[in-house]
């Protein structure tokens, strides 16, 4: 497995008396999108600000490309780009002026700046607005400029704090697609409190609640975290329960009523079709079939320590 580009080790942060982050540890590998998921106040921005060297942690270590961020901040920050929750845009600068300014802040070599600005503008679809004042751009395009400044120095990892917050639905889709493109050849971490956002954008998730990690894994693992996938069926001429239990990939059958069953399965591929076919062949007179699975909402509610949201019925 490749080396972690970011390593967060036993991170703690306290604001005066309140702990915002407690014993957080995770690693980010070379490419793809990692979602940092949590409710408002969970500690996402604090974690991201520390990871990007904007805030000093109370204790714990952050390594960027193997470099200890606190001990060697200038060296470590070369490898990381950051778009904070409130994009640091100067409204009275043009796109070109602002990106040149950011490139110089990143201490880029003067000879490289022009090409870097052109490449970032091209990548973020803002080249045609190069002379436009930032205050005259729409929210979606301002966000693109914020993303351009975050990638201007070609960092290995880019951190976006709630990147689609406050955008309209079309802008959200555009920014989401842009982030996915950026993640093709680098690691990206986004924070969000919106569950569908992680489903649509991320391959891996870390969920934090009150500053503590409560889940770390792939989106599929997250989606299936609470319950195995299941299917509820009603059969007017039901066979013996053992017949249902012997269907391929069925792990367990719960008899709900005389005619209603919940089938727990290990392989979701064509499961509804397979059960329908078995019913037709067996003459079981299927009158209801509902595919069920643990939704992200359920996982979120349970892991957040809130009451469970009702099971979501699909199909």
Ligand X SMILES: Nc1ncnc2c1ncn2[C@@H]1O[C@H](COP(=O)(O)OP(=O)(O)OP(=O)(O)O)[C@@H](O)[C@H]1O
Which stretches of the chain bind ligand X, using CB under 6 A?
15, 18, 20, 38, 40-46, 193
Which neighbouring-strand residues pair with 9?
61
CA 309 – CA 295 distance, rounded (Å) = 9
Nearest Cα neighbor of 187 from 219, 152, 156, 147 is 156
For residue 303, the minimal CB distance to ligand X (Å) is 14
38/60 with CB nearer ligand X = 38
> Between 45 and 164, whose beta carbon lies closer to ligand X?
45
Residue 193 or 260 having the CB closest to ligand X: 193
Q: Tell me the three-class secondary structure of 226-294, residue by residue.
A: CCCCEEEEEECCCCCHHHHHCCCCEEEEEECCCCEEEEEECCCCCHHHHHHHHHHHHCCCEEEEEEEEC
Residue closer to ligand X by CB (options 20, 103) is 20
The pair of structure tokens assigned to 136 is: 């005259």
Min separation Cβ 103 and ligand X, Å: 28
Nearest to 58 by CA among 17, 28, 27: 17
Decide whether 45 or 201 has the Cβ nearer to ligand X: 45
Instruction: Find the shortest distance in angstroms from Cβ 38 to ligand X.
Output: 5
Nearer to ligand X, 43 or 81 (CB): 43
Rounded to whole angstroms, how far apart are CA atoms 286 and 288?
6
Q: State the nearest-atom distance from the C-beta of 193 to ligand X, in Å.
A: 5
Query: In the complex, what is the shortest distance from the CB of residue 309 to ligand X, in angstroms, rounded to a whole number?
Result: 20
As measured in angstroms, the least distance from the Cβ of 60 to ligand X is 15
Min CB(257)–ligand X separation in Å: 44
Angle, CA of 160, 67 and 4, to the nearest 5°: 60
Q: Which is nearer to ligand X, 30 or 165 (CB)?
A: 165
Residue whose C-alpha is closest to residue 191's, from 180, 201, 181: 201
Strand 187-192 with 32-37, pairing: parallel
Whole-angstrom CA distances from 20 to 46, 163, 209 are 7, 21, 10
Measured over the CA atoms of residue 218, residue 219, residue 222 and residue 227, the dihedral's sign is negative
């Amino acid at each position: 497995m490749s080396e972690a580009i970011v390593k967060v080790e036993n991170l703690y942060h306290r604001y005066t008396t309140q702990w915002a982050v407690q014993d957080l540890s995770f690693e980010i590998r070379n490419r793809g999108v990692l979602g940092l998921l949590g409710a408002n106040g969970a500690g996402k921005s604090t974690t991201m600000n520390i990871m990007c060297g904007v805030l000093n942690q109370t204790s714990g270590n952050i390594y960027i490309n193997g470099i200890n961020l606190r001990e060697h901040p200038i060296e470590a920050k070369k490898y990381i780009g950051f778009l904070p929750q409130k994009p640091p845009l100067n409204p009275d600068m043009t796109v070109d002026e602002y990106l040149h300014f950011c490139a110089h802040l990143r201490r880029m070599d003067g000879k490289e700046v022009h090409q870097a600005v052109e490449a970032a503008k091209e990548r973020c679809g803002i080249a045609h607005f190069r002379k436009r004042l930032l205050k005259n751009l729409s929210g979606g395009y301002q966000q693109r400029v914020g993303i351009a400044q975050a990638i201007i120095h070609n960092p290995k990892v880019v951190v976006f704090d709630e990147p689609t917050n406050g955008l309209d639905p079309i802008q959200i889709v555009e920014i989401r697609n842009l982030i996915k493109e950026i993640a093709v050849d680098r690691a990206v971490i986004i924070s969000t409190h919106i569950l569908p956002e992680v489903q649509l954008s991320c391959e891996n998730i870390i969920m934090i609640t009150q500053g503590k990690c409560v889940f770390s894994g792939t989106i599929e693992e997250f989606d299936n975290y609470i319950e195995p996938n299941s299917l509820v069926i009603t059969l007017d001429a039901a066979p013996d329960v053992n017949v249902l239990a012997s269907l391929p990939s069925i792990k367990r059958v719960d008899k709900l009523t005389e005619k209603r069953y919940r089938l727990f399965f290990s392989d979701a591929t064509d499961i509804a079709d397979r059960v329908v076919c078995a019913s037709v062949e067996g003459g079981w007179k299927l009158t209801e079939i509902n595919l069920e699975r643990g939704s992200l909402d359920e996982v979120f509610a349970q892991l957040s320590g809130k009451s469970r949201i009702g099971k979501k019925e699909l199909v």
